[in-house]
Amino acid sequence: KEDLSWLGIQWDEERLASDDMDNLYSLAEKLISEKHAFVCLCTQEDMKSLREKMKNCPCRKNAVKKNIDEWKLMLSGKQLEGSRTLRLKGDMKSNNGVMRDPVIARISFAEHFKQGKKYYVWPTYDFENPVEDSLNGVTHVIRSKEFELRAELHNYILKLLKMKMPIVR
């Protein structure tokens, strides 16, 4: 805030993504229902290995009903951290590794500074960021060079959800 003020930038409204968790959950479930996301039970090591080899995870082929049931288990708070993640069905053959079935939500029991222990599943930056920008009417975003590869993924997510894409600089 101090840096933005120093630059002379004023904002109309301050928002926290954690205030939109119900929307984020609903959109995640929409991706599952439309066969664009799946709940993965693989270990982080197995997931990494399969992504490096450009091979599909066995969980990717699960039926929508099973994925919805697993998603609800994630949301229940009765599953261990790391036992399940929600992954987007990307392109496992893509040269852009970011597109290889990225994790878009994970279980975390860490207490949130505002929400406390109300939520057990948290969206990743790659899901939350483009969705929040679109939900909040952001028209232009400035990203640093390290996010260049992520633009393809962010646009893909917004396209799947039929949401407006901002201009990225």
Secondary structure of the chain in HEC code, one letter for each residue = CHHHHHCCCCCCCCCCHHHHHHHHHHHHHHHHHCCCEEEECCCHHHHHHHHHCCCCCHHHHCCHHHHHHHHHHHHHCCCCCCCCEEEECCCCCCCCHHHCCCEEEEECCCCECCCECCCCEEECHHHHHHHHHHHCCCCEECCCHHHCCHHHHHHHHHHHCCCCCCEEC
Give the percent of the chain with pLDDT over 70.
100
pLDDT per position as a tens digit, 91-137: 999 999 999 999 999 999 999 999 999 999 999 999 999 999 999 99
Confidence of residue 143 (pLDDT cuts 50, 70, 90): confident
pLDDT at 72 over 90: yes
pLDDT for 113: 95
Q: What local confidence, expressed as pLDDT, does residue 109 receive?
A: 96
Categorize the per-residue pLDDT at 147 as very low, low, confident or very high, splitting at 50, 70 and 90: confident
pTM over the 0.85 mark: yes
| pLDDT number for residue 12 | 83
